[in-house]
């Protein structure tokens, strides 16, 4: 692999690592915000093939109602 391609690949991989760290932080924040029953529903939903933590949180979580 030529040096330029190697450098580009290194930059892209570093960026992916950064994005994955941001995603993990957001997942943790969402998890801390969820009520116990929402966490339990999220765990149960993950038993379905193809449903991971992020999808399960989105399915099992109800956003709070904000008064206008």
Task: Report pTM.
Answer: 0.65
Cβ count within 10 A of residue 65: 6
Under a CB-based contact definition with an 8 Å cutoff, are residues 54 and 22 in contact? no
Query: Which pair of tokens denotes residue 16?
Result: 């992916």
Measure the CA–CA gap between 43 and 24, rounded to whole angstroms. Answer: 17
Instruction: Read off the pLDDT of residues 6-34 as tens digits, 9 standing for 90 and up.
Output: 999 999 999 999 999 999 998 898 888 88
pLDDT surpasses 80 at 65: no
């Amino acid at each position: 692999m030529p040096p330029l391609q190697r450098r580009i690949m290194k930059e892209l991989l570093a960026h992916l690592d950064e994005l994955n760290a941001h995603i993990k932080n957001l997942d943790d924040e969402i998890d801390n915000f969820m009520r116990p029953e929402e966490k339990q529903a999220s765990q149960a939903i993950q038993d379905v093939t193809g449903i991971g933590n992020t999808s399960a949180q989105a399915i099992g979580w109800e956003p709070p109602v904000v008064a206008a």
